[in-house]
Chains A and B, each alone.
Chain A
Amino acid sequence: MTLPTATELPIGAVVTEPGSTRRNITAGWRALRPVIHDDRCVRCQLCWMYCPEGTIVELKGVFKVGNRTYDTKYEINYDYCKGCGICANECPTKAIEMVPE
C-alpha cells in the first residue's frame, strides 16, 4: 500500500473523516483473549461498565442458561478488544477467563 506524502495529507494531522478509527482493528495488540463462561455469568454488567474500550457487547433477548432465563447476554467484540484483562479482574463470579492467543 502506498501511503500519502507530506504534501498530500491535511495539515496538522487533522482527521477529516468522522469515525475512521473504526477501520483501525486493534485485535493484533492482544496477547490474552477474554472468554466468557456464560453459565457462570450473573448479568451484573460490571465487565460492560469497566471495559475501557467498550468492547463488551450487551445483547437483548431471551437467553436460557441451564434452568435460568436471562434477558441479556454479554459477548466480546474481538476486533477491538486489546486483551487488557480488566473485565476478568472485575468479574465477581470469575466467569471471564483470559486465554493465551
Chain B
Amino acid sequence: MQVQKTKHIEALTTNYAMAYAVKAVDVDVIAVYPITPQTTIVEKISEFVANGELNAELIHVESEHSALSAVVGAAATGARVFTATSSQGLELMHEVLHIAAGMRLPIVMAVPSRALSAPISIHGDYSDLMNARDTGWVIYIAASAQEAYDTVIQAFRLAESVSLPVMVSYDGFLMSHTVEPVELNDEEEVRKFLPRALRPYTLNPKRPVTMGPLASPDWYYEFKYQQVLALKEAYKVAKEVDSEYGRRFGRSYGVVETYRMEDADYAIVAYGGASYGNARAAADLARERGIAAGVVRVRLYRPFPTADVLKALDSVKAFAVVDRAIMFGSPAEGPLYKDIAAAMYMHGIDKPALGVIHGIGQRTIYVEDMYKIYTMLRENPRKEVVFMGVRV
C-alpha cells in the first residue's frame, strides 16, 4: 500500500468533483445530454476531452434515453463508461435502467437529484432517484463533494467487480452547485486501484456472443435471480472496496455513517448532504439542551444495508427518518422510512419511528426543524408520517 506524499486540494462543486473523478478513472466513453442540475458535470468532462486531458469518446446524443443506450452499447464492448442525468432525464432513461442492470453492465452514472414535474421544478429533492431505486442498480448517496469524488472511484471498482451498474447521487444544487475543498488523488494511484481486466463476455467478433436476447418463461426468472444474488454480493464488496480505498487514499465512509450515536437515545436517519449536515448541527444543539441525539446517514442505499442500519439504531429509544421524496399513496410516504420499517419488522424489532417528509422541491430544511424532530421523539415517541415545512 502506498500513501500519497503531497496533497492536491481544489475548490470544486460536487459536479466538477465528479468530472475530476471521471478523468482520474480514465473513462473511455461518455454519452451526454444536458439537464439541470447535472449539466456542469459533462461540461467539465467535455473540456477535459477537448483539451486532451482525458482520452475518451464523448458522444452527444439527442435524449437521455439515447445517452444511457449509448453507454450500454459501449459497455457491452468492454469500454469503461460514464453518463450523468437528473430528474426528467432519469425518468426518460427508466426503461434502459432495467436493461443496463439486466445485462449486468458496469456503468457508472452521476445523479444530482432533482424534483419531478409537474409543476416544473429545477430544484433539488430525491423524487427522481427514488423512482429508480428498484431497477437493479447499486445506489450511493453522497453527502459532500469529497465523498462524491471518492465514491465515483469506488463505484467503478464495485461495478466492475460485481457486474452491476452504479448510480452516485447527491443533492441537486445544494451540493451540485456549491463549492467545497476536494482532495484529488494521484491519477496513477487511481488507475492502480482500478486495473483494467477483461470481462467474461464482451462484444468481440473473435468470440461472438449474443447480448440482450429474449428469455422465455423457462429461462427469464433465473437471470432475474442472478441480479438478486449480485446485489447481495454488492453489499459485501462495497464494504471491502471502501476499506481498501481508505487504506490507499486515507478516506473511507462505510456504507452507513453515524454521528454521535455512541450513547444516543434519539436518532435522525437521513441521506444526502443538506439533510445530514443539518441533522448533525441539530444533534449538537439537542445535546447542548440535554437530549442525547445522534444521526445515522445511509450512504449505500441499494443494496439496502439492513444489518448496518439495524446495528446503528440498536440502542435508541426512538428514531425519525427524514425523506426528501414522497411515495404517493404508500402506507408510509417516505421511501427510506418504509425500507427501515420493513427491515425492522422482518427482524422482530418494534420501536417508535417517525417518518418525516421534508425538503421537497428544495423547501429549506432548517436546523431548528431537525431539532424539533428530536423534541418530538422525546416528548411523544410514535409511529407516524409527518409532513414538515409545508403550509397546510
Contacts and interface: CB of A to CB of B under 8 A. Distances in A.
B384 interface: no
Contact of B211 (A6, A9, A12, A18): A12
A44 interface: no
A13 B219 contact: yes
Chain A binding surface, main DSSP class: loop
Contacts of B223: 6, 9, 11-13
A10 B200 contact: yes
A80 to B, nearest CB: 15
B201 A6 contact: no
Q: Max chain A CB contacts within 10 Å: which of B208, B210, B218?
A: B210
Interface of A: 3-7, 9-16, 18
Interface of B: 102-105, 163, 200-201, 208-213, 215, 218-219, 222-223, 225-226, 229-230
Contacts of A3: 218-219
19 contacts: A3-B218, A6-B223, A6-B229, A7-B229, A9-B219, A10-B200, A11-B163, A11-B230, A12-B102, A12-B105, A12-B201, A12-B226, A13-B212, A13-B213, A13-B223, A14-B209, A14-B210, A15-B209, A15-B210
A18 B213 CA distance: 12
A3 B218 CA distance: 8
A11 B224 CA distance: 10
Contacts of B210: 14-15, 18
A11 B208 contact: no
Contacts of A12: 102-105, 163, 201, 211, 223, 226
Given A3-B218, A16-B201, A9 B226 contact: yes
Contacts of B222: 4-6, 9
Contacts of B212: 13
Nearest to B207: A16
Instruction: Please name the 9 residue pairs, one residue from A and one from B, whose CB atoms are nearest each other, closest first.
Output: A12-B104, A15-B210, A6-B222, A6-B225, A14-B201, A18-B208, A13-B223, A12-B103, A11-B104
